[in-house]
Structure formats: structure tokens, C-alpha cells
Structure 1
Amino acid sequence: MSDNVTLCWICKKNAATTREHRIKHSDLRSIFGKFGRGLPFYYSDLQQPNQLVQSLNARLLKAPALICQDCNSARTQPHDRAWEHMSMWLRFRSMPLHIGGRVRGDKIFKYNAQKEMLNVHLFFLKLFGGMICEAAGGLPIPIEPFAEAIMANRFHREVYLQFGKGDGTVGILPAQAITLPGGHVIFIWMYRIGPVVVNVIYAQNGEYWENLDKTWHPKWGKTNFRVADLMGPR
């Protein structure tokens, strides 16, 4: 393989030729429907506000970090499907989410709930890994454990998820560093899709974070979680 070919950050074997949506395509389609009808859609980021979006496959809706076709389809397809199912279930359940309420994973996934919740965890590992790769100044987070977890279909010990009620907005809030009183640093970013928000937390040696009990992690062997208040300033 040519020295000029960029290798996929996940498998480190195949040429990286495909881009992943920042917000999953099925989430965007579910919320916005088909483009080209009615009001125009705009995308804003830290570099440029109000960029006209012509299609759900527009380049600006995809992350710059490249992965290979195999990792973007066959390898991570179960992770994508698990999140697509969970996303739809949370947004369209008969009783809207309420802050502090408990949600059971075996209600979301009637079969193999632990496996499917692990797949959701792995879906966010893929997005997080791409975010680490594309960070201009670099995030001081090692990428190797993310790739190893996806390749081995197992969890990353230091990445936690928090599922919460959102304010109706759609987008990604980039990773921010938070320094804890003891000097330890955690990184948090948000995936917002209307009434549902996922807080993704990288907490090295997570036991130092006092809010750990408000998150969910597959290593705890549970599929249930409490709905967090992630609606932002009000």
C-alpha cells in the first residue's frame, strides 16, 4: 500500500475512504424529513454560521476523519442499528421522557438488551474516535483503546454515557475539558437530537468523578438508566 494512503483509524489496515455523519443519517432524516421542500436548512459550526444544507448527504454534515468502507459498514453496522432503534424508541415512546425517570434497557431492546446496549456504547465510541482524530489541536485522549474496543466488540472502560431530556435542538457540542477539584481532567461532549440528548464522557480513572453514578456504562452489567436534565440553560 502506498505511503500516501491514509489508513483507517479503527482497523489500521485498510485505506480510509469514507466519512461518517456527525449526526446519524437516520436521526437527521427522522427529524427533518426530505430536504428540498418547505423551509431551507442551515448548518452552523465554530468556523462559519448558517451554511445552507442541500442534502442529508452533504459533505459539511460529515466528520472530516476518514475510516475504511469495511469499518463504516460491516464492522460497525450493528452499532449503528442499535442506536437507530434506541433513538427512535426514546423520541417516540408513548410517554415522553421525564427528568429523573428510570428507563429499562430491556424495554428498549426486547432481546439481547445487554448486547444491544453495548452496541450503543460502541456507536458513540466511533463518533468519539473520529472527533479525537479531527481535533485541530488534538485532544489528549489516546485513540488506541477506542479502536481496540470496536475491533474486539467490547467496551471502553473510561467512556460513559448519560441519556437525558433535550430542548429540541439538533447538533453536536464539541468535546470540552473539565478540570475536577483533585486536578483530574474529564472530557464531555453532547449529541443532541430534539427531545433526546446523549452526554458522552471520557473520565480517565473515572472513580474520581463525583457524578459517575448519574451515568451509564456496560461494565456495570445493567441496562437501565435515569433520564438526566440536559436541556441546557433556561
Structure 2
Amino acid sequence: MICWICNKNEANSREHIIKRSDIKRVYGRGSYRGDRAPVHVKNGVLSYIQGSDSRILKYDKSLCSECNVKFTQPFDLAYEKFCKYVFENEQLILHKRYIDFFDVYGNDFEAGQRDLYKYFAKSFGCRLVDAGATVPDDVRELLKKDTFQTGLRINFSVNEDVLILPKEDRDGFLGKGDMLAWLDRKDNTKVNGYEWNEHISWLTISYWYNIHPDGNLGSVWVADNQFIYLGIMFPLDEEQREYARKKVEEKPNKAN
């Protein structure tokens, strides 16, 4: 297989599905054992994670080491800086319901948010390849540009149902949603667009490629604004939400 980013080198490197820095932030460097060991769930199958570099947390090889380690490193660092800011300023962000990239990256916020967007574009591309799809040229090519046009739109939302959980539990709520393909109405073999999401705790990042984003899930962002305004989502119905609240309330009693 050829690396989908450079489109020339052999794919000999595996990208993390769950970012290693996210795992380490919540669970430490590892190894992980006992009740606090993270659990990976996929298709209903539970697997205990022993370390932040576990193979189960990685995609199959789809990148070359040059692209995955060297070329995209600034994107990874921009993401880590963004996450650090979000977790250190959680209550402020939840109160304001927006993020100012100046507060994250300082005077260099234009370059910082551009690298952050490229991290998400890389994440989207790796997920497409994992699903057996081809990464659109505009997504692949924007990684090498300072200015670009693309069909990939992103927005950020607060998952209010995750906020029901105690902080020590919700911080470990890391994962990816299903990749949905939008088929052409006249030709169901043709894909017109994609929809996807991933989450770090209560913050959900939604991806929309060549389809109209759901405005309830936040302002649309293409690395083109100093501010991102957070949307809102309630995945649980009222009965499920009430059940979750009761389970959280019961948890301290069980520990005593």
C-alpha cells in the first residue's frame, strides 16, 4: 500500500486511532492494570489496554514514516496544545461556549489553528482509508498548503449527556463515531459525501465532507476564524438520561 498523504512512499507506519497523548493525559504513561485500566470497545468487543502505544489503538499501515512522524508533527503538536487548553480551562469554556484560538496559540493563532485543522484532516483521511474509501484530493493536498479550498467542514459541540458523568470518568471518554457515506440518489454506487465524528470527553468534533453541516453542532470552521462557537448535543433520550443520572448518584454509595 502507498502512503495516502505523499502518494509515493510505501505505507510502513500506523496512525493512532485514539491519540497517544490523550491516553497518557488521562491514564498516565502505563502500563495499565486493575480497575483503572482503560477498555477499548469496538463492535461490542471489549479489550483491556495495557499501554498508550497498544496496537489495538492504531489503524493498519496507511502512512509512510516520513509523513506520519516528521511532516505531520506540527499538526500533532497543535492538537495536543488545543486539548491541553480545553482540559485546563474546561469550566470557562463550558460557561462561555466558545474557544478563542488566541488563548490557545497566542499571537500565532492563525498558523496554530491551521495546523490544528490539518490534524483533523489527517484524522479524517486515516478514517476514510480504514473504511476502504479513497481520500479526496482536496483533503490530501491541503496538508501541504497555507491557503486552500476544500469540501471538508468541521464543527465542535458539547455533549451534555457526557457532562452527567463525574470528571474522572468523562475525561476517559475518548473515541470515534461511525463513518457515514451519503450516496447519490440516482446512482447508489456513487458517494457524494461523508459524515463522521470523534470525541474527547464532552467535546465532540463533527466532520462533514461535501454535505451541509448540522448547525446545531456549532459554527462551521475551515481554519478560517479566530473563534469557534460550540454547539450542543443530547444523544440520550429523557429516560436514558434519567437512568444515567441515577447511576451516577448511586456510585458513591456503592464505594462506601
Question: What is the rounded CA distance, in whole Å, between the counterparts of 1:118 and 1:188 in structure 2?
Answer: 21
Contact preservation (8 Å) 1:11, 1:151: no
Once residues 180 and 119 of structure 2 are traced to their aligned partners in structure 1, the CA distance between those partners, rounded to angstroms, is: 20
* 8 Å Cα contact 2:156/2:219 also seen in 1: no
Structure 2 partner of 1:3: none
Once the two structures are superposed, what CA deviation does each residue of 1:15-52 show, in whole Å capped at 9, x if it has no partner? 21110101211011112223324423221112x51112
Give 5+ residue unaligned stretches, structure 1.
1-5
Q: CA deviation at 1:164?
A: 2.2
Correspondent of 1:187 among 187, 194, 217: 194
Summarize the Cα distance change of 1:50–1:125 in structure 2 as closer, same or farther, 3 Å threshold: same
Task: Name the amino acid aligned to 2:38.
Answer: F
Partner of 2:251: none
Change (3 A) 1:114 1:41: same
Shift of 1:143: 2.8
Separation in structure 1 between the aligned mates of residue 183 and residue 93 of structure 2, nearest angstrom: 30
2:203 maps to which of 196, 199, 206: 196
Match of 1:109 in 2: 105
Task: Return 187-196 or 24-33, whichever deviates more.
Answer: 187-196
The CA distance in 2 between the partners of 1:115 and 1:20, in whole Å, is 23
> Do 1:191 and 1:197's aligned partners in 2 also have CA atoms closer than 8 Å?
yes
Does the 8 Å contact 2:32/2:49 carry over to 1? Answer: no
- 1:211 maps to a residue whose letter is G
TM-score after normalising by structure 2: 0.75
> Relative contact order: is structure 1 or structure 2 higher (C-alpha 8 Å, sep ≥ 6)?
1
Aligned length: 219
Pairing partner for 1:225 from 221, 224, 228: 228
Name the TM-score, length of structure 1 as normaliser. Answer: 0.81
Q: CA deviation at 1:69?
A: 0.7
Q: Distance in 1 between matches of 2:22 and 2:214?
A: 32
Contact kept in structure 1, 2:154 and 2:207, CA below 8 Å = yes
Paired with 1:45 and 1:112, the residues of 2 have a C-alpha distance of 38
1:133 offset after TM fit, Å?
1.1
Point out the more displaced range, 160-169 or 71-80: 160-169
Equivalent residue number for residue 32 of structure 1: 27
Structure 1 pair 231–81 and aligned structure 2 pair: CA distance change class (3 A): farther
1:45 aligns with 42
* In 2: Cα distance, 1:153 partner to 1:56 partner: 32
Please give the per-residue CA displacement for 1:132-188, whole angstroms capped at 9, x wherever unaligned. Answer: 1121xx44x6532222111335545211221222313221112124689xxx95422
Counterpart pick for 1:175 among 179, 190, 215: 179
Distance 1:114 1:17 in 2: 32
The one-letter code sitting in structure 2 at the alignment partner of 1:192 is: H
Report SS of the residue matched to 2:62. strand
- Aligned equivalent of 1:60: 56
Deviations along 1:105-156, one digit per CA (max 9) or x if unpaired, are 1111103111111111100111111111121xx44x6532222111335545
- Secondary structure class of the residue paired with 1:64: coil
Comparing both structures, which one devotes a greater share of its residues to helix? 2
SS in 1 for 2:107: coil
Q: Which has the higher strand share?
A: 1
CA separation of 1:209 and 1:163: change in aligned 2, threshold 3 A: closer
Q: Which has the larger Rg?
A: 2
8 Å CA contact 1:188, 1:199 repeated in 2: yes
Paired residues of 1:174 and 1:190 also in contact (CA < 8 A)? yes
Distance 2:201 2:10 in 1: 35
